[in-house]
């Protein structure tokens, strides 16, 4: 390196240093000032833009295609344990086609799609045996400060997927903010954002009290309020509609600022009243559409959603409210594919409307 270039670099660096509030020539870093800087001032420079808080326009997602790992014969030998709602294996070719149509919709909406490949059969084995439902990475919650990694709550066959998700997110540059740990369990990404400062998850079979305590703590540290709903679980009768609900996104979908779809049979009355108190208008999903994942929508932008085509009455009600519904055949949802929200890990959204505008 020649002297003139070295001199130029030195001058530029010294000029940068002089602009830093914790720098004084000839002295160590003023750590009392350095420690007070806000993480958000350097977050984008370090990591780029991440975070899908709220209901602003969706920009980036992570998906995993369906694969042969979803159709092991043993799954239908123990359908209750593996939660095979229709007590049959998915039709893989149909599932693959429906997934491809979903990807096509997202790309048509200018959403950047990151595809995490499914594991081989040899790799689809966790600490407690065979794994399934790799197609539902929604359980990761990606905030503006980084991803919160879940800890599985429903059953042993789910454990291990979270490691794949965390590794992949880091490989594409998304930071990890927090991981549920200890006795905390929660598949915490499958909830509902009311706006970018208010998040809803439910105590029940997909999250225990300790998991929710940890989630509340980390969300509060980044300025987000957690509202805990309550959902019924099951004892032995696990199939739809008896106790078959799991994640909150099966009973609550935020369509627009102040507009939601709900399935009250699985969502506690206090939460419904809470939403009404916030001036939400509520559209009730009928039972026959609940089992077709009618609440499980993906909001592309305020008032624009992807919704299972089988939810015909719900779609009609939404369109009467002026909502743009992109309906998609997802007949394989309940056999393992999941609904639009289930199968989407939302990575980035634009800033969206806030509740104080209601």
pLDDT over threshold 90, residue 244: no
Structural element, H or E, at residue 165:
helix 161-171
Q: Report the pLDDT value the prediction gives residue 246, as an integer from 0 to 100.
A: 74
pLDDT over threshold 80, residue 185: yes
Q: With contact defined as beta carbons under 8 Å apart, do 250 and 233 qualify?
A: no
- Residues linked to residue 228 through DSSP beta bridges, in sequence order: 201
Q: With contact defined as beta carbons under 8 Å apart, do 197 and 223 qualify?
A: yes
Q: How far apart are CA 185 and CA 250, in angstroms?
A: 19
Query: 200-238: per-residue pLDDT in tens?
Result: 999 999 999 999 999 999 999 999 999 999 988 888 877
For residue 59, name the pLDDT band (cuts at 50, 70, 90).
very high
pLDDT over threshold 70, residue 139: yes
CB atoms within 10 A of CB 130: 15
Structural element, H or E, at residue 194:
strand 192-195
Q: How far apart are CA 355 and CA 304, in angstroms?
A: 18
**Coil, strand or helix at 125:** strand
Q: Report the pLDDT value the prediction gives residue 241, as an integer from 0 to 100.
A: 66
pLDDT over threshold 80, residue 340: yes
CB atoms within 10 A of CB 274: 15
Eight-state DSSP code of residue 175: P
Q: Report the pLDDT value the prediction gives residue 215, as an integer from 0 to 100.
A: 98
What average pLDDT does range 163-171 have in this prediction? 98
Q: Report the pLDDT value the prediction gives residue 245, as an integer from 0 to 100.
A: 65
Q: With contact defined as beta carbons under 8 Å apart, do 303 and 61 qualify?
A: no
- Residue ranges and CATH numbers for the domains of the chain are 42-353 (3.75.10.10)
Structure tokens at 65: 């295609």
Query: 77-108: per-residue pLDDT in tens?
Result: 998 899 887 788 889 999 999 999 999 999 99
């Amino acid at each position: 390196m020649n002297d003139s270039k070295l001199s130029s670099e030195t001058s530029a660096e010294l000029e940068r240093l002089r602009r830093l509030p914790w720098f004084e020539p000839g002295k160590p870093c003023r750590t009392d000032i350095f420690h007070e800087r806000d993480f958000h001032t350097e977050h984008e420079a370090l990591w780029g833009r991440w975070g899908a808080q709220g209901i602003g326009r969706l920009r980036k997602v992570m998906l995993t295609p369906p694969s042969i790992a979803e159709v092991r014969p043993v799954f239908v030998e123990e359908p209750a344990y593996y939660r095979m709602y229709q007590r049959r294996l998915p039709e893989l070719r149909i599932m693959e086609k429906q997934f491809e149509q979903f990807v096509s919709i997202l790309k048509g909406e200018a959403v950047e799609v990151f595809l995490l490949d499914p594991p081989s059969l040899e790799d689809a084995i966790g600490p407690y045996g065979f794994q399934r439902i790799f197609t539902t990475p929604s359980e990761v919650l990606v905030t503006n400060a980084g991803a919160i990694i879940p800890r599985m709550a429903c059953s042993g066959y789910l454990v291990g997927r979270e490691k794949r998700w965390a590794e992949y997110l880091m490989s594409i540059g998304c930071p990890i903010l927090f991981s549920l740990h200890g006795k905390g369990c929660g598949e915490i990404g499958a909830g509902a954002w009311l706006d970018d400062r208010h998040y809803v998850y439910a105590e029940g079979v997909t999250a225990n009290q300790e998991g929710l305590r940890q989630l509340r703590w980390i969300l509060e540290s980044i300025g987000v309020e957690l509202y805990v709903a309550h959902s019924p679980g099951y004892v032995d009768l696990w199939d739809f509609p008896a106790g078959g609900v799991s994640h909150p996104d099966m009973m609550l979908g935020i369509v627009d600022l102040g507009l939601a779809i709900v399935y009250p049979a699985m969502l506690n009355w206090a939460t419904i009243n809470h939403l009404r108190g916030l001036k939400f208008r509520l559209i009730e999903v009928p039972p026959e559409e609940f089992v077709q994942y009618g609440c499980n929508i993906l909001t592309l932008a305020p008032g624009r959603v992807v919704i299972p085509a089988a939810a015909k009455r719900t779609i009609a009600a939404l369109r009467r409210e002026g909502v743009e519904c992109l309906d998609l055949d997802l007949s394989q949802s309940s056999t393992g594919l999941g609904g639009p929200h289930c199968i989407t890990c939302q990575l980035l959204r634009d800033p969206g409307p806030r509740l104080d505008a209601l």
